[in-house]
Structure 1
Amino acid sequence: MHNQTKSLTGRIGVSAILLLAMTGCKSTIEADSPASACLQVAGTWDLIADTDDSQCGGSGKQEKMVFTVTQDHCQLENSDGTTGTINGADINWIADPWYINGGEVTYSKAIARIEGKQVTGSYDWNWSDGSNECSGTTKVNGTILANGETVSVQTKVKEKNPMLLPSEGSIAHTFSLQASDAKAVYLAGEMSDWQADVFKMKKQEQGDWSLTLYLQPGAWQYKFVVDGKWRYDHSNPKTTDDGYEGLNSLIVLGKEVAELTVNPNIAHGAVINSDFDSKVLGANSPYAVYLPAGYSADSQKIYPLLVLLHGYGNDQQQWIRDGKIQNFMDNLADKGVIEPFIIVMPSGEKSQYVGKREIHIMEELIPYVKAQYRIKPGKASTAISGLSMGGFGAFYLAHRHQDIFGLSVPLSGYFNMSNYPDFNPEKFTMTPALYLYCGSDDHTSFVSNQGLVKLLKKGGIDFTYKTAPGGHTWRYWNSISSEFLTVISDFFNQ
């Protein structure tokens, strides 16, 4: 059952949510108006959805949802294309069932309450593929924004999918798929922040499905969602691991970011792939090390150390394969933007970097690497960073080992504190410097980052938080790599 339904919360490439965006629902609303009158609910709805999908093999998920509701007398339509009718104090939404992971999602009960401009609700849903079935609940709460707020947010909503129209610097690319028997096909990937239902493809007479997007230059990872089942593009030979024992397809349009590419005219560091026979894990654990250019030439020079953690379900090669961290380091060092340092990239699998994996990294791997390479001692020369699950790990390990790390730089960390049961926000101290990054369009981690920021402020913790447009994607992480590596280098050299 778990294998049948795991993508309800763990969509390809990221940990994602079963999105229930107010579709197929009936809302009960209290108001002072007569029962026959139509309530005015048009505007921008800004909600947080909290899904319990434990019966479907998931571990729960929070997600920010923003959509517009237009109103013509008693008729409604939201920006997802769902229509509805106001009848007295009730809103009845009309929506077809939708598909995910080879099964159909239907609603058994969906009730919302609006008091003033506040929205709360609980949506019960069922998933079935004919052989297996499960159910869950999504709770939502949020606000219908006031007119002054609506303008800016509506603009953001309208611009959320600019890839559908030509824009300055964009490159047209047509995605196509042969699936003549399919009922619905979507394009999902970094262009949709891995949401399954953003870009609906059109069926052609020959049975092909196609969609043209106007994308900015660089690499884009993507998949097709065919009647709810995720699949990579078999006609495209370029692929990369998706973190869920599968593949994402990859296209590169135009030129990539200069720092991300190999420059044949400069000195290059070395990437060493090795493994460690861990007594703690009772197994062999692989890891990778980046040594700066010139490491072998100067046998006396010692270097700071960065521990760099990968995301959920991926491996120690993720930062080399998708992040091109070795190219960033070479190019930035050659330009004098950073001072070189050593990077060790452990294997974390799906561990959240807790339990035995924490002990292995802290008590086995780091001491071993320090003995093997010329590394400066002390916390002022030791930092930790990582993305997604690795962002949580960067925070968790730095907080647990404040005598080891002087700096923690979580990138789009998914801060589910149930993975840290000993965490006590009432007695929270953090001596390592803390520098948080998260994309504002990140449907996986933005909400948990906002929650952590509130907790840090309440505790009087000194930290830096930087957010900019971007999702839970390598498009975002590659865009901030030069900056966060500079932050780390500056810390080492202060």
Structure 2
Amino acid sequence: MINKTRTLRCFTGCISATLLLVLVGCKSNIELGSTASTCSLVGGTWDLIADTDYSQCGGSGKKEKMIFTVTQQGCQLSNDYGVTGTIDGTDVQWKVPPWFINGGEVTYLEATAKIQDKKIEGGYYWTWSDGNTECSGTTKVNGTILAKEDAISAQSEVKEKNPMLSPKEGNIAHTFSLKTPSAKAVYLAGEMSDWKENVFKMQQGENDNWSLTLYLPQGAWQYKFVVDGQWKYDQSNPKTTDDGFDGLNSVIVLGKEIAELSVNQNIPHGSVINSDFDSKALGENSPFTVYLPPAYSADSQKSYPLLLLLHGYGSDQEQWVRDGKIQNFMDNLIHAGLIEPFIIVMPYGDKSQYVNNTETHIMDELIPYVREQYRIKSGKTFTAISGGSMGGFGALYLAHRHQDVFGLSVPLSGYFDLSYYPEFNPKKFTMEPELYIYCGTDDHISFARNEDLVKLLKKEGVDFTYKTASGGHTWRYWNGITTDFLTVISDFFNKQA
């Protein structure tokens, strides 16, 4: 994406979750019949729907139901997120403190609400800026102050939606804890919540300790803490990984990981090579990573098919090695005879969406360069492209624009923002490369866009495969489908041989 559109997990997920929490949390109520000099009791449990428009920040629209508690003292309101408000008749003016996310600051130009008959209606206008780029948006909120019996039912319903809060056969209990002084609200966010920050509220104990126990399926889980709206990794946990936004995610591993994801010391291993060259298209040095299969060096005559594998927004060319463990999957699957060996090239795309100069760099510079450096079979029947999130968009975009180069496109949870592809016209859409689309049904960032794209493709009679399964916009989901999509790619190459 371009710099102002920080939409994937860290902007869409945070603006449509963190922002919704703050915005939704900043709502107040006044009874019908109140006057400008009288404040009515509006504290208690609020049930709201927040509708956020972040199209200028690279997203579209997001609706989310929120249930939270508002405290009232006289004409003053407050909530757990540090938001305060003042009632004047049926109107509320909110004071929302700025908060930081993705290297930038969210500030509020205006935050107001009107309360009547225990009905809530409000609007919030905000901007995000990192000093170089800026975007803005609105959030509209409608809801109700619940009666006590309804509040108990609503809160129970919310709890039922989070089965990880209760023991389940096969799941593993893990207590997340954080010591943070003066915090007003702490949440656990991560792959367990599809990076929504308002799902798992931690409980405050003695000595500024906050904790929460979840019952999780085994495997690796990435997470962070959200302390009064600010995202922080767990400094007490030494296991971390890059979050794609100049920060870190914390990682825990419960029980065993996926077998194919782990290193097997008893089998041959391929080579992971980090390289770079000067790019005229980019006007700077550009890094890339290559995976060579185990047998590459043993036979100096044999050539191999090529997979171009693209990373997500704000990450780098090593993401699929670091988080995807693609080298381990390849080694294990090749040794087991489940796939045939092929070469993988992973370019650096930063936040480009793989358009403009980055497209020129990959297509006109990188691919010809690696074909000169490595023994790669020629022709589109031996060339595929895949990638996750922003890389999923890139896999569709580049394959469609260069149908003479790629014979197969495999987008994974693609964030299909077609504003980056104005030439795209579904009425004239043809897709000669085979197309195989994956997306998790719990993916609050990309699933709706995948569904919209699929409708367009079906309407135009495009031949493609669409495979969905439970999972979010997370490495747990992508690791879980890696064996499958690598097999799809290997089968494509094999049928051409």
- Interval containing the TM-score (normalised by the shorter chain): 0.7 to 0.9
The aligned counterpart of 2:410 is: 409
1:17 positional shift: 3.4
Structure 2: gaps of 5 or more residues: 30-46, 69-79, 81-90, 116-120, 143-155
Kept in 1, the 8 Å contact 2:8–2:313? The answer is no
The aligned counterpart of 2:179 is: 178
1:318 positional shift: 0.2
Kept in 2, the 8 Å contact 1:109–1:125? The answer is no
The aligned counterpart of 1:144 is: none
Kept in 2, the 8 Å contact 1:8–1:100? The answer is no
The verdict on how the C-alpha distance between 1:235 and 1:448 changes in structure 2, with shifts beyond 3 A counting, is same
The aligned counterpart of 1:59 is: 58
1:304 positional shift: 0.7
With 347-356 and 211-220 compared, the bigger mean Cα shift is at 211-220
1:103 positional shift: 6.5
Take 1:302 and 1:207, find their aligned partners in 2: how far apart are those partners? 60
1:60 positional shift: 3.1
Q: How does 1:262-281 map to 2 (within 5 A)?
A: 262-281=263-282
What are the superposed Cα offsets for residues 154-186 of structure 1, whole Å, 9 maximum, x if unpaired? Answer: x99776422111112111111111112011111
- Which amino acid letter does the alignment assign opposite residue 450 of structure 2? N
The verdict on how the C-alpha distance between 1:457 and 1:489 changes in structure 2, with shifts beyond 3 A counting, is same
Kept in 2, the 8 Å contact 1:62–1:447? The answer is no
Take 2:335 and 2:95, find their aligned partners in 1: how far apart are those partners? 56
1:18 positional shift: 2.6
Take 2:97 and 2:199, find their aligned partners in 1: how far apart are those partners? 13
Q: How does 1:4-43 map to 2 (within 5 A)?
A: 12=10, 16-19=14-17, 20=20
Kept in 1, the 8 Å contact 2:311–2:387? The answer is yes
The aligned counterpart of 1:477 is: 478
Kept in 1, the 8 Å contact 2:9–2:473? The answer is no
Take 1:394 and 1:134, find their aligned partners in 2: how far apart are those partners? 27
Matched, 1:400 2:394: no
Kept in 2, the 8 Å contact 1:225–1:231? The answer is yes
SS in 2 for 1:287: strand
1:423 positional shift: 1.5
The verdict on how the C-alpha distance between 1:103 and 1:17 changes in structure 2, with shifts beyond 3 A counting, is closer
SS in 2 for 1:248: strand
Take 1:99 and 1:251, find their aligned partners in 2: how far apart are those partners? 31
The aligned counterpart of 1:331 is: 332
Q: How does 1:159-308 map to 2 (within 5 A)?
A: 160-308=161-309
Take 2:216 and 2:337, find their aligned partners in 1: how far apart are those partners? 32
The aligned counterpart of 2:37 is: none
1:430 positional shift: 0.8
Kept in 2, the 8 Å contact 1:99–1:227? The answer is no
- Which amino acid letter does the alignment assign opposite residue 59 of structure 1? G
1:100 positional shift: 5.0
The verdict on how the C-alpha distance between 1:369 and 1:64 changes in structure 2, with shifts beyond 3 A counting, is farther
The verdict on how the C-alpha distance between 1:158 and 1:203 changes in structure 2, with shifts beyond 3 A counting, is closer
Kept in 1, the 8 Å contact 2:16–2:52? The answer is no
Kept in 1, the 8 Å contact 2:52–2:137? The answer is no
SS in 2 for 1:383: strand
The aligned counterpart of 1:108 is: 111
Take 1:383 and 1:65, find their aligned partners in 2: how far apart are those partners? 37
Take 1:156 and 1:403, find their aligned partners in 2: how far apart are those partners? 53
Take 2:465 and 2:110, find their aligned partners in 1: how far apart are those partners? 42
Take 1:140 and 1:483, find their aligned partners in 2: how far apart are those partners? 41
Take 1:457 and 1:134, find their aligned partners in 2: how far apart are those partners? 34
- Which amino acid letter does the alignment assign opposite residue 200 of structure 1? K
SS in 1 for 2:287: strand
Q: How does 1:45-124 map to 2 (within 5 A)?
A: 49=51, 51-52=53-54, 54=56, 58-63=57-62, 65=64, 100-101=99-100, 108=111, 123-124=123-124
1:65 positional shift: 4.2
The verdict on how the C-alpha distance between 1:135 and 1:302 changes in structure 2, with shifts beyond 3 A counting, is closer
Take 2:141 and 2:481, find their aligned partners in 1: how far apart are those partners? 32
- Which amino acid letter does the alignment assign opposite residue 15 of structure 2? I
Take 2:51 and 2:203, find their aligned partners in 1: how far apart are those partners? 29
**Root-mean-square deviation over aligned CA pairs:** 3.7
Kept in 2, the 8 Å contact 1:25–1:107? The answer is no
- Which amino acid letter does the alignment assign opposite residue 398 of structure 2? L
Kept in 2, the 8 Å contact 1:9–1:61? The answer is no
SS in 1 for 2:341: coil
The verdict on how the C-alpha distance between 1:304 and 1:10 changes in structure 2, with shifts beyond 3 A counting, is closer
Take 1:304 and 1:134, find their aligned partners in 2: how far apart are those partners? 42
Kept in 2, the 8 Å contact 1:305–1:342? The answer is yes
Take 1:8 and 1:105, find their aligned partners in 2: how far apart are those partners? 18
1:108 positional shift: 3.4
1:203 positional shift: 0.7
The verdict on how the C-alpha distance between 1:347 and 1:272 changes in structure 2, with shifts beyond 3 A counting, is same
State the identity %: 65
- Which amino acid letter does the alignment assign opposite residue 194 of structure 1? W
1:125 positional shift: 4.0
The verdict on how the C-alpha distance between 1:225 and 1:98 changes in structure 2, with shifts beyond 3 A counting, is farther
Kept in 2, the 8 Å contact 1:16–1:61? The answer is no
Take 2:141 and 2:307, find their aligned partners in 1: how far apart are those partners? 39
Kept in 2, the 8 Å contact 1:8–1:18? The answer is no
The verdict on how the C-alpha distance between 1:401 and 1:361 changes in structure 2, with shifts beyond 3 A counting, is same
The aligned counterpart of 1:76 is: none
Counting matched residue pairs gives 430
Kept in 2, the 8 Å contact 1:186–1:225? The answer is yes
SS in 1 for 2:334: helix
The aligned counterpart of 1:374 is: 375
Take 1:443 and 1:407, find their aligned partners in 2: how far apart are those partners? 26
SS in 1 for 2:15: coil
What are the superposed Cα offsets for residues 283-308 of structure 1, whole Å, 9 maximum, x if unpaired? Answer: 11000110111111112221110000
The verdict on how the C-alpha distance between 1:304 and 1:126 changes in structure 2, with shifts beyond 3 A counting, is closer
SS in 2 for 1:491: helix
What are the superposed Cα offsets for residues 187-219 of structure 1, whole Å, 9 maximum, x if unpaired? Answer: 111111111111111111211111111111111
1:276 positional shift: 1.5
Q: TM-score, normalised on structure 1? A: 0.78
Take 1:276 and 1:156, find their aligned partners in 2: how far apart are those partners? 55
The aligned counterpart of 2:436 is: 435
- Which amino acid letter does the alignment assign opposite residue 487 of structure 2? T
Matched, 1:311 2:309: no
Kept in 1, the 8 Å contact 2:194–2:472? The answer is yes
- Which amino acid letter does the alignment assign opposite residue 17 of structure 1? I
